[in-house]
Amino acid sequence: MKRKRCLYALLALILAFTALSGCKANEQTEIYMFLGSPEFKEPTQALCDEYMKLNPGVKIVFETSSDYMSMFQAKINTGELPDIFFVPTGLELKNYEQFCYDLSDQPLASALTDSAKASLSYGDKLCGFAQACDLFGLIYNMDILSECGITKVPETNEEMTALCEAVSAKGYNVFTTGYKELWVWKHVLQPYLNMTGEPAYDTFSKIGSGEKTMADYSSLYNDFFNFVDLTLQYSGTKPLECGFDAEISEMAAGKTAVMIGQGSWAEGEILRTAPDFNLGFGGYPVSSNASDCKVVLGTSQAICVWKDSKVRQAALDFANWWNTSDYGKSWYADVIITYPPIKDAKFPTSNLNNDAMKSIDEKGAGRMSCYDIPVAFTDAALGQVMQVYAAGDITKDEACTQLQGKIGEFLND
């Protein structure tokens, strides 16, 4: 009897151990990834799904938001950050590097292009990797342009005005604006900021200190506002109610000729809705000189691993796979359709990338200058003032006075 009881006890222990082992085997490591760029949500989710399929012991909870920075700041205030998050590059990176794990010794570090690595580093610390290299410019419906007798995208102010007149005469909307989104305005300002003849932060500092005003810079006071006025004149009836999704819909519907404030990230969204869309791409015409019309190239966000994450190694494994695996190397061309920030990656052969590279080869790339000045200005104050101007509630001079005041506020941030 004692022998049976001992046997039963042993069997019970074995069953309990087996059950416990089974539970542990079925446990998943959960990585929480919170990013901005909602325009990349679907392709990034596809990448997460592929990794989870290959690694069933890992669950990636991926979220994105168009109000990312304010939500991320709220998470910082709680002391609990996402395992993977993103922050702006350029001037703003210094404000967040304390939360980032140094990726310098990770396999992905050697996979990044030199230009991407430079944008993603603070001093000697590699703070993150890139979701994409961004190409900033104007997107065109080439079928509409062709119908209007226009054989190439405009490169001068005069050519853009002629396009507006020709397209409007055919009954099409010329522009879809995205002016509802505050962040769109910095992309419109950027090519004109590049025409001041000095680094963007120098211009920002001189205006903020009162040494100069916006009226001292013709590219800002005249050319930028002239372009905004042109877009308002030749856009739909409610440009301030048009956000990114509406821009995609308006372009894909084939009734609008030019998308402003966007870039390479928009191409995939348009083609998912309208696979046969005949897309063209070019820089902003900013003067009477075609050589000034440059496509801007850069890396605007760093995707970072939280240095204090409880699942840091799992997050690092995912980040390295993203940048070094065969799937990751082809993802930029086949899924997200954008210029890759890593070496040996498959290069997208889309119309946008082809047009952009042709322009860059001929004229060089424009600087991603809007990231060289405080994000509090570019992503909020600039758009807030310009929305009031676009609504017709203030004059150009009043808008400039308000912008100069805002620049002064953020000069030392």
pLDDT, tens digit (0-9, with 9 covering 90-100), for 125-136: 999 999 988 899
- Mean pLDDT, all residues of the chain: 91
Q: What pTM, to 2 d.p., does this model score?
A: 0.75
**Residue 186 and residue 172: Cα distance in Å, rounded?**
26
Torsion 248-261-144-291 (CA) sign: negative
Nearest to 132 by CA among 31, 282, 249, 267: 267
Instruction: Kindly tell me the burial class for residue 412, based on how many C-beta atoms sit within 10 Å of its own C-beta (0-12, 13-18, 19 or more).
Output: exposed
Does the pLDDT at position 9 exceed 80? no
**Residue 231 and residue 30: Cα distance in Å, rounded?**
46
- Of residues 349 and 391, more confidence is placed in 391
Does the pLDDT at position 15 exceed 70? no
CA distances from 28 to 24, 59, 113 (A): 9, 6, 33
Q: Where are the alpha helices (DSSP H) in 148-259?
A: 157-169, 184-193, 200-209, 218, 225-233, 244-252
Does the pLDDT at position 10 exceed 70? no
**Residue 8 and residue 11: Cα distance in Å, rounded?**
5
Predicted confidence at residue 376, as pLDDT, reads 87
* Average pLDDT of the segment spanning 404-413: 86
**Residue 12 and residue 25: Cα distance in Å, rounded?**
20
Both tokens of 371, joined, read 């990231």
Nearest to 51 by CA among 277, 249, 246, 326: 326
Predicted confidence at residue 375, as pLDDT, reads 83
Confidence class for position 219, pLDDT limits 50, 70, 90: very high
Predicted confidence at residue 237, as pLDDT, reads 72
Complete domains list, the chain, with CATH = 29-133+299-342 (3.40.190.10), 134-298+353-410 (3.40.190.10)
The model's pLDDT over 52-81, given as tens digits with 9 standing for 90+, comes to 999 999 999 999 998 899 999 999 999 999
Does the pLDDT at position 19 exceed 80? no
Share of the chain above pLDDT 70, in %: 93
Q: Where are the alpha helices (DSSP H) in 79-131?
A: 107-111, 114-119
Predicted confidence at residue 412, as pLDDT, reads 66
The model's pLDDT over 253-293, given as tens digits with 9 standing for 90+, comes to 999 999 999 998 899 899 999 999 999 999 999 999 999 99
Confidence class for position 248, pLDDT limits 50, 70, 90: very high
* Average pLDDT of the segment spanning 319-335: 95
Confidence class for position 413, pLDDT limits 50, 70, 90: low
Grouping H, G, I as helix, E, B as strand and the rest as coil, residue 170 is coil
